[in-house]
């Protein structure tokens, strides 16, 4: 299943959402060489977040696994800057396209609930919480972590609190049969969150690279909690489809309000 759009209008032009997408895209093109080697592996080594390196639980010179057959050596620096840079690095075309599309679908309405500056701070805090959760889950890991999905998980956590009944239109692949259907956000995002928890427990003890499920869980939980501090009631209350109690469910009213 893949979200196509939501039936959710906006009041503000989501400048911060656009900027985050642009920064991730520029990083993919200019720093990561659009996924070509050795630029991709080098960028992940230098700017990816490695728990064992950050916490200094692994000795300098330890080989970090970037891919199935690709390794790089860990430095003796704790590289605190990677807490930020890792949020703008990706591992493949599908990785960045998927992340940016989810941000495109859900980011504008969350930004609409708090304003531009608050949303920028909120996004970074969700990314930090996601990284912390993944580090706690495997503090000795020598596998660099990259991707915006932890911070975007925070956006999704905020969305499910703000707009649980808004319909999200999904694209469903069933073999050769492709169809679309709409479900309330609480079902779609709730299902996604449960799948991350299941994947997180399934990844315990793994020494190979893969999806940072606990980063997704941590980001989502942080976003669902932080939204109560960051939302601006006046901005939320003007929205026709906020909260669980609504006079009617939204249908096709998804264009920007003026």
Q: 10-residue block means of pLDDT along the chain (258 residues)?
A: 87 96 98 91 89 80 66 69 94 95 96 97 97 91 90 97 92 81 90 90 65 91 97 91 64 45
* Structural tokens at position 62: 């330890």
Q: What is the pLDDT of residue 22?
A: 98
Q: What is the pLDDT of residue 65?
A: 66
Q: What is the pLDDT of residue 240?
A: 82
Domain 2-31+87-237 falls under CATH 3.40.50.920:
no
Q: What is the pLDDT of residue 206?
A: 59
Number of helices followed by number of strands (H, E) in the chain? 10, 5
Q: What is the pLDDT of residue 144?
A: 87
Q: What is the pLDDT of residue 257?
A: 41
d(CA 248, CA 113): 20
Give the predicted TM-score (pTM) of the model: 0.88
Q: Where are the domains of the chain?
A: 2-31+87-237
d(CA 187, CA 91): 29
Q: What is the pLDDT of residue 77?
A: 62
Residues 6+ apart with CB under 8 A from 248: none
């Amino acid at each position: 299943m893949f979200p196509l759009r939501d039936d959710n209008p906006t009041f503000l032009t989501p400048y911060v959402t656009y900027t985050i997408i642009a920064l991730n895209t520029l990083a993919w093109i200019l720093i990561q060489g659009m996924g070509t080697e050795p630029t991709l592996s080098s960028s992940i080594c230098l700017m990816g977040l490695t728990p064992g390196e950050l916490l200094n639980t692994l000795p300098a010179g330890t080989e970090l696994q970037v891919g199935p057959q690709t390794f790089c050596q860990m430095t003796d620096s704790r590289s605190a800057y990677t807490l930020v840079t890792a949020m703008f690095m990706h591992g493949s075309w599908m990785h960045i396209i998927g992340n940016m599309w989810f941000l495109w679908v859900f980011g504008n309405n969350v930004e609409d609930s708090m304003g531009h500056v608050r949303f920028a701070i909120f996004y970074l805090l969700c990314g930090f919480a996601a990284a912390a959760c993944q580090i706690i889950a495997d503090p000795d890991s020598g596998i660099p972590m990259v991707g915006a999905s932890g911070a975007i998980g925070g956006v999704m956590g905020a969305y499910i609190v703000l707009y649980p009944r808004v319909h999200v239109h999904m694209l469903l692949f069933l073999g050769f049969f492709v169809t679309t259907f709409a479900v309330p956000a609480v079902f779609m995002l709730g299902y996604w969150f449960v799948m991350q928890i299941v994947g997180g427990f399934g990844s315990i003890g793994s020494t190979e690279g893969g999806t940072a499920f606990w980063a997704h869980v941590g980001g989502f939980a942080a976003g669902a909690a932080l939204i109560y501090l960051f939302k601006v009631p006046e901005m939320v209350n003007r929205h026709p489809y906020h909260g669980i109690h609504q006079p009617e469910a939204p249908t096709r009213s998804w264009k920007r309000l003026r």
